[in-house]
């Protein structure tokens, strides 16, 4: 009976793996050889994607890291609610995110009047792409960052404070290095999610080559005109996503090795 | 090596048109240009319809989507498919015109097509690879304003309905769409005509998909579409007779 169950579970695993990996492998197999497809559309899309992702990552790292630290280290009323609210975009369909961004920050949106008073028209600009990426990627990063900071031993932080370190110094010199592995893992996952952002971008930012057309949007536009280009961009995105995924899996491992050694030495001194 | 991925792609493409009923097929399965959505649903409420840009539909047929009829906003696409034996002879069943739509409030003060060339007017058009985008460029070239207008383009959408939606939401100052696309959003947009001398020949053609099994529903739908009932419904939705 136990053998049967193991066999069935193994078959389920094999079926799932095959199903999940076949489309990935199929794109890689069908990527046309050579580099003739590497035309202006793909290059422009790569440029737009890298630029907007860079800015978006800076935004969610700078906002998300202190925010996650606060949530992870303080106990306050409504904390669980705050954590849940931060994750709302994760469960939203991207198309809903796009429409939401449009009716919030669009010209005719809730903040449209205020924004145009500031001379800001966001839809169809690179800023719109950045906002769409931040919207979908930031919650992913913050969730991982909260977990990373929660894993930092509170007593170490307390000890640093007893030794006279101010809150900012504790954050920068103690908490940040100790959580670095988890933060990097979260960042890699959020980066990958942002690179692949499609639904919110095409609704909120539209699609214009060289301006707002990111790699996933270029795939969509090229899909029926030039399947080879679409496949080639797909192959590039797969390579990039795999790189980020493996980064996310490996980096905490490296730092855990280091943190394990520090905790052993700490145990040694306290003994 | 090729059969596997192709079969998977066909499966994925089939999903939206096959629906989730799983019971006896009722009526034809029709792939149609998104500008036909209103007219076709009124003509054959029992048919299963999938609306998208014409090139995307052609791609779906090439990939073996289980459809009975394909109707596109560009007969050339169907002639290409017919040449490869994927569809029967295309029949032109309606014509359309281009118009400019602007949001009701008309923030950029667009009164004529020429106003689209003014600097700072946010214009949305179709992607050059889809018919509505190709026609729009042709019209602009005939008017001699393609350069400045295309410089004002803020987004290239993959079908006409998406262009109309961006304008109806007030996010763009103007868009170039088929006259029929302005109807569903009539409450939110104003229509600025495109002069007759700039109008490209916009014909809609439909054909039976020849991929077996060829079911009689496809031919029946085409007969209804090209017959008096189809003509009336199409006219009601703003299309011109072929």
Size of the A and B interface in Cβ pairs below 8 Å: 70
Residues on chain A touching B55 (C-beta within 8 angstroms): 224-225
- Whether residue A259 is predicted with pLDDT greater than 80 in this model: the reply is no
Q: What is the CATH number of the domain that holds A101?
A: 1.10.3720.10
From CA A165, how far away is CA A184, in angstroms rounded?
25
Q: What is the CATH number of the domain that holds B154?
A: 3.40.190.10
DSSP secondary-structure letter at B158?
S
Structural domain that includes position B46: 3-13+27-95+201-236
pLDDT tens column, A20-72: 999 999 999 988 877 666 788 889 999 999 999 999 999 999 999 999 999 99
The closest of B58, B101, B103 to B83, measured between CA atoms, is B58
Residues on chain A touching B156 (C-beta within 8 angstroms): 206-209, 221
Residue at A33 is within a domain: no
From CA A102, how far away is CA A132, in angstroms rounded?
10
- Could you say which residues of chain B have pLDDT below 70? 1-26
The tokens for B2 are: 């090729």
Count how many domains chain A has. 1
Q: What is the least distance, in Å, from the CA of B147 to any CA of chain A? A: 16
Q: What whole-number percentage of chain A has pLDDT above 90?
A: 58
Residue at A222 is within a domain: yes
What's the mean pLDDT in A234-254? 87
Residue at B20 is within a domain: no
Residues on chain A touching B56 (C-beta within 8 angstroms): 223-224
Residue at B22 is within a domain: no
DSSP state string for A123-151: TTSHHHHHHHHHHHHHHHHHHHHHHHHHT
pLDDT of residue A37: 66
Residues on chain B touching A108 (C-beta within 8 angstroms): 103, 169-171
- Whether residue A271 is predicted with pLDDT greater than 70 in this model: the reply is no
From CA A227, how far away is CA B6, in angstroms rounded?
13
- Maximum average pLDDT range among A137-146, A158-167, A231-240, B5-14: A137-146
Residue at A65 is within a domain: yes
pLDDT of residue A114: 87
User: Cβ of B22: how many Cβ atoms within 10 Å?
Assistant: 6
Residue at B139 is within a domain: yes
One domain for residues B107 and B169:
yes
One domain for residues B56 and B109:
no
CA distance readout (Å), B44 to A31, B107, B179, B184, B230: 41, 39, 22, 18, 9
Report the length, in residues, of chain B: 242
Alpha helices in B144-202 (DSSP H): 146-151, 160-168, 179-182
What's the mean pLDDT in A165-190? 91
Q: What is the least distance, in Å, from the CA of B59 to any CA of chain A? A: 6
Structural domain that includes position A75: 38-264
**Do residue A124 and residue B154 have CB atoms under 8 angstroms apart?**
yes
Residue of A107, A207, A224 with shortest CB distance to B56: A224
pLDDT tens column, A80-135: 999 999 999 999 998 899 999 988 998 888 998 888 888 888 888 999 999 999 99
Residue at A232 is within a domain: yes
**Run of H or E including B101:** strand B98-103
pLDDT band at A258 (very low <50, low <70, confident <90, very high): low
pLDDT band at A227 (very low <50, low <70, confident <90, very high): confident
Count how many domains chain B has. 2
Q: What is the least distance, in Å, from the CA of B220 to any CA of chain A? A: 29
Q: Which residue has the higher pLDDT, A12 or B10?
A: A12
The tokens for A68 are: 């996650």
pTM of the model: 0.78
pLDDT of residue B20: 38
Q: What whole-number percentage of chain A has pLDDT above 70?
A: 91
């Amino acid at each position: 009976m136990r053998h049967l169950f193991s066999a069935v579970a193994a078959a389920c695993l094999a079926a799932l793996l095959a199903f999940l990996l076949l489309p990935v492998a199929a794109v890689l197999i069908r990527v046309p050889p050579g580099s003739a497809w590497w035309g202006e559309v793909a290059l422009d899309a790569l440029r737009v994607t890298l630029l907007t992702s860079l800015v978006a990552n800076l935004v969610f790292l700078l906002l998300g890291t202190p925010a996650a630290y606060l949530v992870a280290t303080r106990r306050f009323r409504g904390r669980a609610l705050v954590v849940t609210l931060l994750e709302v975009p994760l469960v939203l369909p991207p198309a809903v995110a796009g429409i939401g961004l449009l009716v919030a920050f669009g010209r005719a949106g809730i903040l449209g009047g205020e924004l145009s008073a500031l001379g800001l028209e966001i839809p169809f600009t690179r800023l719109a792409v950045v906002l769409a990426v931040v919207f979908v990627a930031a919650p992913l990063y913050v969730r991982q960052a909260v977990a990373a900071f929660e894993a930092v031993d509170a007593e170490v932080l307390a000890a640093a404070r007893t030794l006279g370190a101010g809150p900012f110094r504790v954050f920068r010199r103690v908490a940040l290095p100790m959580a670095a592995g988890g933060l990097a893992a979260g960042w890699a996952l959020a980066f990958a999610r942002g690179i692949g952002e499609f639904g919110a971008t095409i609704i909120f930012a539209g699609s214009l080559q060289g301006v707002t057309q990111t790699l996933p949007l270029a795939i969509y536009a090229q899909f029926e005109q030039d399947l080879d280009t679409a496949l080639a961009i797909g192959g590039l995105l797969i390579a990039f996503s795999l790189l980020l995924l493996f980064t996310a899996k490996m980096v905490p491992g490296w730092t855990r090795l280091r943190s394990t050694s520090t905790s052993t030495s700490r145990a040694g001194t306290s003994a | 090596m090729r059969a596997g991925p192709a079969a998977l792609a066909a499966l994925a493409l089939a999903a939206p048109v096959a629906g989730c009923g799983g019971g006896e097929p009722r009526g034809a399965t029709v792939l149609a240009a998104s500008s036909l959505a209103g007219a076709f649903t009124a003509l054959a409420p029992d048919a299963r319809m999938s609306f998208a840009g014409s090139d995307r539909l052609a791609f779906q047929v090439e990939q073996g989507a289980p459809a009975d009829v394909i109707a596109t906003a560009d007969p050339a696409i169907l002639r290409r498919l017919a040449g490869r034996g994927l569809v029967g002879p295309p029949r032109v069943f309606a014509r359309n015109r281009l118009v400019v739509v602007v949001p009701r409030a008309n923030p950029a003060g667009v009164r004529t097509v020429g106003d689209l060339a003014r600097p700072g007017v946010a214009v949305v058009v179709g992607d050059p690879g889809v018919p509505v985008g190709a026609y729009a460029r042709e019209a602009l070239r005939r008017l001699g304003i393609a350069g400045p207008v295309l410089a004002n383009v803020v987004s290239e959408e993959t079908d006409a309905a998406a262009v109309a939606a961006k304008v109806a939401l007030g996010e763009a100052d103007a868009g170039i769409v088929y006259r029929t696309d302005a109807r569903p959003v009539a409450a939110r947009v104003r229509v600025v005509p495109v002069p007759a001398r700039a109008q490209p020949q916009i014909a809609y053609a439909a054909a039976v998909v020849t991929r077996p099994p060829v079911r009689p529903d496809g031919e029946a739908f085409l007969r209804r579409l090209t017959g008096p009932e189809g003509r009336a419904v199409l006219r009601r939705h703003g299309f011109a007779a072929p």
